[in-house]
Structure 1
Amino acid sequence: MHWRAKGLLQKLLGHMPGGEQAHYLLQKRFGGLRGFTREFEIKMDDWRLMASHLHDAGRPIAGARLFEIGSGWYPTFPLACYLGGAKQVITVDLHRHLKHDLLLECADHLAEHTALIAQACNVPETEVQRRQRRLSARLQQGDDLAAATDGVVIYQAPIDASCTALPTHGIDCVFSNSVLEHVEPAVVDGIYREAMRILVPGGIMFHSVNCGDHYAYVDHSINQLNYLKYSDHDWHRWDNAFLYQNRMRAYEFVDHAEAAGFDIVLNTECPREKRLAELAAMHVHPQFAHIPPERLCVTSIDFIGRTHLTGAAT
């Protein structure tokens, strides 16, 4: 599908009564939800990487109090954390997207990953298997997410992650996966400030950001740098309620975190030869001309920011 056609269709659906449900059905029939298993496997690999980064940063998942920004259609990360022994996982979304049928499918598919979860969280696999079986059974019998996880996983939507009602210094780790690239830059700063408030002293904030042009996933005639051809004014016509892209570059997410007071302890920013070549072969809009190519071309990044041990800002 041509990326412009998708952008216009999504913009139209965003202004129609019932547009959100229509968009969901289209995603199941033609989009990312069409192949649940493939998408789920990608999410689990992302979760494995997050668990590894958190472990290396001294904040293992087992026993942790976690806060996820952007629950999505089904809560893969929160459920994997629950199976791995997290003390609490609060997951929030600005809009209520969670679908019960996908939640059930997610819980069932986790049965195939109990060994991975056990290893990543350093807990016995028998315990992970026990939790998974109980989770699937309780969801099948009609329990909601909180009841099915004995109160560990709490889903809240609509909630603005930049302005929660959570207590100060009550969370060990704030995290997101492929979310911040869809948030307005000013709101990204608000999310960082709120994370600083709710994190315990020495707590960490982990974000995995996919900051390439997402239209490239449906239109293979373009690459993930395509949207850098356009000014903000021109790009606005393609942004929509279902696929807003802020076009922030990878380093900017880290710089903004530092400005909010976080100490950066992980930064995977790395220019790829393929992206550098793609950038050199295209016309970039002058508004991006001040950014060095090796920074402009980066389309994904994982980073961790840590609050000061002496106490977070309020």
Structure 2
Amino acid sequence: MMKKWQQKVIVQKTISYLPFSHKINYIFQKYVTKGVQLSDEYFYDRLGHARDHISSYQHYSNRPIPNSSLEIGTGWYPIVPISLFLLGVEKIYSVDISFLTSKPRLLTTLQQFAACAKAGRLREFVDFQDTKLAELHELLAQYEQLSLEQILAKLHIIYLIEDARHLSLADNSIDLVNSNNTFEHIYLSLLEPILLDFKRVVNKEHGVMSHFIDMSDHFAHFDKTISTYNFLQFSPRQWRWIDNNIQPQSRARIYDYRRLYAELSIPITAESYRPGSVEELSQIKLDAEYAAHPAEEVAKTHCHFVSAMNTAVQPTR
């Protein structure tokens, strides 16, 4: 019998060839895989990312609040951008290949923030300004009377639907560049020019880049019968047939990202990771590309790279 992940491969591969593939994929995930609902787990995971982005910026820039930020791959629910709004960031850019949020999805996100604040938990993640939280509540009260554009403007969120390799932002114009489990969806050949443009736009005096990367097999998030390393058994040729351009997975490992950063002269000022399980990895017959590396390195499933662009800052890893 075909496994769930294999069924999803066939469906997404088919969708990828259709017009409006991202909208069709949203409907598929909403009603079939149930993968696009804003769950408490997802919300608090992203709040944790926001907390770590902010603390990384404050530590390595010695400034309390960035004036501007840029996120790639924000997706359906702009949790980190709203966190930065509550902190007091003035310009919050989000770059993506398509506009994925909507007025209902944004409402859901704002309601989650309001519920989090009411439960007394928001301060655990974001040292928000009371005036900004009041603005969020006021926005919810008048939500139906406002357009999506007006709502985003009040939140200081600016969407850039453009090629992240050629951003329309000025040199040295962004204080904090961040991403949240996005890099793994970008093949290294494409990630290289994106990182180069991030390096161009980030402020060289006090700018910080903070990127979370999920290196696990994303099909295992949906199908619990397969290992988080399942996709490492396939050759590059086999993977091209399995992968799709809606939710691509590069399968890059932590050593690939370290090498890319080094080649682009982007410092890794601080690094953290989840070690994964070498024992679980050993249950997979790895393709030669991965078998050639130390199992402890291949097994790492998640990492967080922080780059302080002021070269006077010393690495802590």
Distance (Å, rounded) in 1 between the aligned partners of 2:20 and 2:97: 18
Aligned to 1:190: 193
Aligned to 2:9: 7
1:127 to 125, 131, 139: 131
Distance (Å, rounded) in 2 between the aligned partners of 1:122 and 1:106: 18
Distance (Å, rounded) in 2 between the aligned partners of 1:59 and 1:88: 19
Q: How many residues of Structure 1 are paired with residues of Structure 2 in the alignment?
A: 306
2:273 to 256, 263, 269: 269
TM-score (norm 1): 0.89
Whichever residue aligns with residue 8 of structure 2, its letter is K
Whichever residue aligns with residue 290 of structure 2, its letter is F
Distance (Å, rounded) in 2 between the aligned partners of 1:60 and 1:150: 24
Q: CA RMSD in A?
A: 2.2
- In structure 2, relative to structure 1, the CA distance for the partners of 1:119 and 1:34 (3 Å cut) is closer
SS at the partner of 1:268? strand
Distance (Å, rounded) in 1 between the aligned partners of 2:262 and 2:148: 38
SS at the partner of 2:15? helix
Aligned to 1:49: 52
- Aligned pairs (5 A) from 1:104-115: 104-114=107-117
SS at the partner of 1:91? strand
Instruction: Say if 2:141 is the partner of 1:165.
Output: no
8 Å contact kept, 1:177–1:209: yes
Instruction: Say if 2:241 is the partner of 1:234.
Output: no
SS at the partner of 2:170? coil
- Between stretches 127-136 and 65-74, larger displacement belongs to 127-136
- In structure 2, relative to structure 1, the CA distance for the partners of 1:77 and 1:61 (3 Å cut) is farther
Whichever residue aligns with residue 218 of structure 1, its letter is F
Distance (Å, rounded) in 2 between the aligned partners of 1:112 and 1:42: 16
Aligned to 1:175: 178
8 Å contact kept, 1:207–1:303: yes
Whichever residue aligns with residue 293 of structure 1, its letter is A
- Aligned pairs (5 A) from 1:1-314: 2-29=4-31, 30-34=33-37, 36-58=39-61, 62-114=65-117, 116-118=121-123, 120-124=125-129, 126-145=130-149, 147-150=151-154, 152-157=156-161, 159-202=162-205, 203-272=207-276, 275-308=277-310
Distance (Å, rounded) in 1 between the aligned partners of 2:227 and 2:150: 41
Whichever residue aligns with residue 307 of structure 1, its letter is M
8 Å contact kept, 1:176–1:207: yes
